[in-house]
């Protein structure tokens, strides 16, 4: 029976809680730089840079050597496996760079999405094989938190019961394996923005998905105080003709989370899901401005919406490294203000601030 269980040892509970709280500390969020080799390849392709190990290294080195002010806004960095074991051009380990900047390293541990047979193109996420062994090694090598992304698609008949149950269950298995190895699991059930659905439908689907997720986490005895949630913000579908104000979408997001996420969870670190840099910052700020109860820290774990301007300014050119780092610093500062509800819309002028980041059926 799932009512018979043992709490994790108190020291492990405290350790997980401390990591989770440090990652979602007030006014701080996560730089998601955990693009797989093929995904970073698409980003590099977009700026005319070849997807070689050296170029990936140069790019990530640029991110992690940004001015120290970055750690006023960024608490942790999500990494892909390759980066954890990579060294800089002059032989320093990437993990050492993060330590110097007081940035907490996190690791993407899922191995990508696969199709669920008999569904309308629905997916689940793989990576449980050897996960405990991998988590134990990552912890020894300095990682403190992990991420696993599941995707759910809104359509006429989706997400299906099967997809919601399977994805919730695999997220819960992942979360319990991480915690057993001292890593804080970031639980990421992303409801994709693809589709022409209304804001109301997006809200109801996200609520239902989260209800499945928290039931599964409970069934698997996951210690919620030592977890973080990485959800989508609730918005109308990308091809919907309906127009909603950011504040209405923010209200829908907070209502959805209030109904489904227990207050024991310390932080909610949103993904940016294809919004422009500026849209994601404004939405995060509006979410934090919604009046009423919000018992968790509401912050960012943006990938595209933190890196679009950086990539464009850098474009593989050594002499542009400093300027690209300034773009990162500016957007990180803006998102920090948004996490505190104080961002002035339009005040952060990134070169790609308004560039659409939407990718159909986005994979990571
Ligand atoms: P985006 O912010 O680009 O949607 O990335 C989300 C993510 O899962 C990165 O870890």
Helices (H), 181-269: 199-219, 246-260
pLDDT over 80 at 296, yes or no: yes
Q: Whose CA is nearest to atom 8 of ligand 1?
A: 271
User: Which of 74, 192, 303, 363 to probe ligand 1 with, by most ligand atoms within 8 A of CB?
Assistant: 303
Q: Whose CA is nearest to atom 4 of ligand 1?
A: 273
Give the pairing type, strands 123-125 and 113-115. antiparallel
Taking the centre of ligand 1 as the mean of its atom positions, its distance from the CA of residue 5, in whole angstroms, is 34
In the chain, the percentage of residues whose pLDDT exceeds 90 is 95
pLDDT in tens, 208-228: 999 999 999 999 999 999 999
Report which ligand 1 atom has the smallest distance to the Cα of 280: 2
Report which ligand 1 atom has the smallest distance to the Cα of 270: 2
Using pLDDT thresholds of 50, 70 and 90, give the confidence band for residue 360. Answer: confident
- Is there a contact between 201 and 239 (Cβ–Cβ < 8 Å)? no
pLDDT over 90 at 335, yes or no: yes
User: Which of 145, 191, 302, 305 to probe ligand 1 with, by most ligand atoms within 8 A of CB?
Assistant: 302
Q: What are phi and psi of 113, to 5 degrees?
A: -100, 150
Angle at 277 between CA 126 and CA 257, to 5 degrees: 60
What integer pLDDT is reported at residue 82 of this predicted model? 98
- Residue 70 CA to residue 195 CA, distance in Å, equals 36
pLDDT over 90 at 361, yes or no: no
- Tell me the residue ranges of DSSP E strands in the chain: 29-33, 74-79, 104-108, 113-115, 123-125, 145-152, 184-191, 228-229, 267-270, 297-302
Q: Whose CA is nearest to atom 10 of ligand 1?
A: 32
Q: Quick one: average pLDDT of 189-207?
A: 98
Taking the centre of ligand 1 as the mean of its atom positions, its distance from the CA of residue 141, in whole angstroms, is 23
Using pLDDT thresholds of 50, 70 and 90, give the confidence band for residue 116. Answer: very high
The encoded tokens of residue 204 equal 């109801």
Ligand 1 binding residues, C-beta < 6 A? 32, 34, 78, 147, 149, 188, 271-273, 302-305, 364
pLDDT in tens, 156-171: 999 999 999 999 999 9
Burial classification of residue 263, based on how many CB atoms lie within 10 Å of its CB (0-12 exposed, 13-18 middle, 19 or more buried): exposed
pLDDT in tens, 309-333: 999 999 999 999 999 999 999 999 9
Using pLDDT thresholds of 50, 70 and 90, give the confidence band for residue 362. Answer: confident
Q: Which helix (H) or strand (E) holds 27?
A: none
User: Which of 301, 357, 362 to probe ligand 1 with, by most ligand atoms within 8 A of CB?
Assistant: 301
Domain ranges of the chain: 10-339
Using pLDDT thresholds of 50, 70 and 90, give the confidence band for residue 5. Answer: confident
pLDDT over 80 at 149, yes or no: yes
pLDDT over 70 at 1, yes or no: no
Angle at 24 between CA 215 and CA 256, to 5 degrees: 40
Taking Cα atoms as reference points, which of 93, 89, 104, 101 lies closest to residue 29? 104
Q: Quick one: average pLDDT of 190-196?
A: 97
Judge whether 188 counts as a catalytic residue. Answer: yes
- Residue 213 CA to residue 211 CA, distance in Å, equals 5
- Is there a contact between 245 and 221 (Cβ–Cβ < 8 Å)? no
CATH number, domain 10-339: 3.20.20.70
Taking the centre of ligand 1 as the mean of its atom positions, its distance from the CA of residue 357, in whole angstroms, is 11
Judge whether 230 counts as a catalytic residue. Answer: yes
Q: Whose CA is nearest to atom 6 of ligand 1?
A: 271
Q: Quick one: average pLDDT of 100-109?
A: 98
Taking the centre of ligand 1 as the mean of its atom positions, its distance from the CA of residue 147, in whole angstroms, is 10
Q: Whose CA is nearest to atom 5 of ligand 1?
A: 303
Taking the centre of ligand 1 as the mean of its atom positions, its distance from the CA of residue 11, in whole angstroms, is 31
Taking the centre of ligand 1 as the mean of its atom positions, its distance from the CA of residue 188, in whole angstroms, is 10
Using pLDDT thresholds of 50, 70 and 90, give the confidence band for residue 2. Answer: low
User: Which residue in the list 230, 277, 278, 286 is annotated as catalytic?
Assistant: 230
- Residue 253 CA to residue 236 CA, distance in Å, equals 11
What integer pLDDT is reported at residue 6 of this predicted model? 87
Report which ligand 1 atom has the smallest distance to the Cα of 147: 10
Taking the centre of ligand 1 as the mean of its atom positions, its distance from the CA of residue 106, in whole angstroms, is 13
pLDDT over 80 at 243, yes or no: yes
User: Which of 36, 83, 273, 275 to probe ligand 1 with, by most ligand atoms within 8 A of CB?
Assistant: 273
- Residue 284 CA to residue 288 CA, distance in Å, equals 6
What integer pLDDT is reported at residue 364 of this predicted model? 63
pLDDT in tens, 22-72: 999 999 999 999 999 999 999 999 999 999 999 999 999 999 999 999 999
User: Which residue in the list 35, 122, 188, 277 is annotated as catalytic?
Assistant: 188
């Amino acid at each position: 029976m799932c009512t018979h269980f043992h709490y994790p040892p108190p020291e492990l509970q405290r350790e997980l809680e401390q990591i989770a709280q440090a990652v979602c500390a007030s006014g701080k969020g996560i730089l998601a730089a955990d693009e797989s080799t093929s995904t970073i390849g698409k980003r590099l392709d977009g700026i005319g840079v070849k997807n070689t190990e050296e170029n990936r290294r140069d790019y990530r080195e640029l991110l992690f050597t940004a001015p120290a002010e970055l750690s006023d806004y960024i608490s942790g960095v999500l990494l892909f496996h390759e980066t954890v074991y990579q060294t800089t051009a002059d032989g320093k380990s990437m993990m050492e760079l993060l330590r110097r900047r007081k940035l907490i390293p996190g690791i993407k541990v899922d191995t990508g999405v696969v199709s669920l047979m008999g569904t309308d193109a629905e997916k689940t996420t793989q990576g449980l094989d050897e996960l405990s062994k991998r988590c134990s090694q990552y912890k020894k090598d300095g990682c403190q938190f992990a991420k696993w992304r599941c995707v759910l698609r809104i359509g006429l008949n989706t997400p299906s019961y099967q997809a919601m149950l399977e994805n919730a269950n695999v997220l819960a298995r992942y979360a319990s394996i991480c915690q057993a190895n001292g890593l804080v699991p970031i639980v990421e059930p992303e409801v994709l923005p693809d589709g022409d659905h209304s804001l109301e439908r997006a809200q109801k689907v996200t609520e239902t998905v989260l209800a499945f997720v928290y039931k599964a986490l409970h069934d698997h005895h996951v210690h919620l105080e030592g977890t973080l949630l990485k959800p989508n913000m609730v918005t109308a579908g990308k091809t919907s003709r309906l127009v909603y104000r950011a504040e209405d979408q923010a209200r829908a997001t907070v209502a959805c989370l209030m109904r489904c996420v227990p207050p024991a969870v310390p932080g909610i670190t949103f993904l940016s899901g294809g919004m422009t840099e500026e849209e994601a910052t404004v939405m995060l700020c509006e979410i934090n401005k919604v009046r009423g109860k919000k018992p968790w820290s509401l912050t960012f774990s943006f990938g595209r919406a933190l890196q679009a301007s950086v990539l464009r300014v850098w474009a593989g050119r050594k002499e542009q490294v400093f300027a690209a780092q300034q773009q990162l610093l500016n957007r990180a500062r803006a998102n920090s203000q948004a996490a505190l509800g104080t961002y002035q819309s339009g005040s952060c002028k990134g070169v790609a601030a308004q560039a659409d980041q939407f990718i159909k059926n986005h994979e990571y």
